[in-house]
Amino acid sequence: MSRSHGRVPYGWVIIGAGMLLSCFSMGSVFSLAVFLQPLTDDTGWSRSGVSTAMTIAFLAMGVSAFGWGILSDRWGTRGVVLSGSVILGAGLVLASRATSLLEFQLLYGLVIGVAVGAFYAPLMAVATAWFEKNRSLAVALVSAGMGMAPLTVAPFARWLITTYEWRPAMMVIGIVAWVLMIPAALLIRRAPVVIPAPTPPRGVATPIASVAPAPRMTAAEALRTPQFAALALAHFACCAAHSGPIFHMVTYAIGCGIPAMAAVSVYSVAGLSGLGGRLLLGVASDRLGAKPVLAVGLAVQALAAGAYVFVGQLGEFYALAVVFGIAYGGVMPLYAILARDYFGPHIMGTTFGAISMAASLGMAFGPWAGGYVFDAYASYSLLYIGSFAVGLAAVAVALTFKPVPAAAKLRAAAKA
């Protein structure tokens, strides 16, 4: 159902706008990793205190996503992403003028976190609505926008900091957010309504699938299953394992003697590898199944996180960033595949929304833990050792997931 607007298939305009919105929104919140050292050096605020702003942002993103989802059903996606764009720019501009740590934590963490929660789920929903064919490609492209953030916003932020210092740099990023994102948000529109096919008259044969549909699970039933608990806990532990190393990657590299711009390039390499990992592990899951690929990816992620203890040279950072990026980027879509396969598409929003909430809690934990560890011990070693342990726990939990075989579902449907 890719409808046309003039001579341009407008569904692809939606995808382009969605990629820009997801890229700059996620890039803006993650740019705090680039600001961390110059900000703490200038203000004297602790790394754990500044990192707490990131923790608050992840919590706000997770909670606000539910509210933005409800509003997107009422207003449409355009109103939601337009509001998020305006709030995001305002939060960055105001955070650049913060005079106390608490003020910065509230502005960067709460305001920007709420704003960024307005993008991912609504954009995914509108992308799928515009396409019948190439739907998976459309969703993957919007998701890839977020993976492009380390390649674009992070180097831009580092250049601004080097040229103008951190406060003007953060203000400029907020203004650029308005300039780029508000016009892109205005391009978003509802997909044309498709009139359903008429019901066949009585006496006309219908496909056998409509006579014996697969059993449908309610959302309440799904949230009480061991499978939901396994996916939610695995996603929580997965994100808790990689969020700290990702957030403190630039600062750790600088502390090892890597020049600031080169340290940011390591972060960008990890982001680029994450894009490749999504494709690589996605293809592998089609052939081997999502569960074994998820388990292997989580194991590689755990080993890579622990290996940061042993690196110190730029070449070593690049090599590890490739492995780590492929692992953490590649496993992220697999949770959605498992949730859809087990619970079905009719409650995908509810079940995967709840699983994503658990993931947000895990993402919130890592940045704060890394800052706390560094402030207490003047070293990131315990962060990486802890990430390795939590990553192994994610593998163990993922292995407990036991989906109902498709054949069993079909037999149950035939007996119904």
CA–chain centroid gap for 390, Å, is 19
Contact of 158 with 36, CB cutoff 8 Å: no
**Nearby residues of 368 by Cβ (< 8 Å), 6 or more positions away:** 48, 51, 52, 54, 55
**H/E run at residue 1:** none
Neighbour count for residue 117 (Cβ, 10 Å):
28
Instruction: Say how far apart CA 85 and CA 187 lie, in whole Å.
Output: 13
CATH 1.20.1250.20 positions along the chain are: 1-192, 217-403
Domain 217-403 annotated CATH 3.40.50.1000? no
Instruction: Say how far apart CA 201 and CA 338 lie, in whole Å.
Output: 38
**Residues in the chain, overall count:** 416
pLDDT classification of 166: cutoffs 50, 70, 90: very high
Look at residues 228, 250, 232, 221 and name the one whose alpha carbon lies nearest to residue 158.
250
Does the pLDDT of residue 7 top 50, yes or no?
Answer: no
Does the pLDDT of residue 201 top 60, yes or no?
Answer: no
Contact of 97 with 193, CB cutoff 8 Å: no
Q: Which region among 35-44, 161-170, 252-261, 331-340 has the lowest average model confidence (pLDDT)?
A: 331-340
Chain-wide mean pLDDT for the chain? Answer: 81
Does the pLDDT of residue 287 top 80, yes or no?
Answer: no
pLDDT tens digits along 136-155 = 566 667 777 777 777 788 88
- Tokens 């509230």 belong to 106
- Residue 128 corresponds to which amino acid? T
pLDDT classification of 247: cutoffs 50, 70, 90: confident
Answer yes or no: pTM beyond 0.85: no
Quote the DSSP letter at residue 9. Answer: E
Token output for 45: 């605020």
Does the pLDDT of residue 408 top 50, yes or no?
Answer: no
Instruction: Say how far apart CA 329 and CA 319 lie, in whole Å.
Output: 16
pLDDT classification of 327: cutoffs 50, 70, 90: very high
Domain 1-192 annotated CATH 3.40.50.970? no
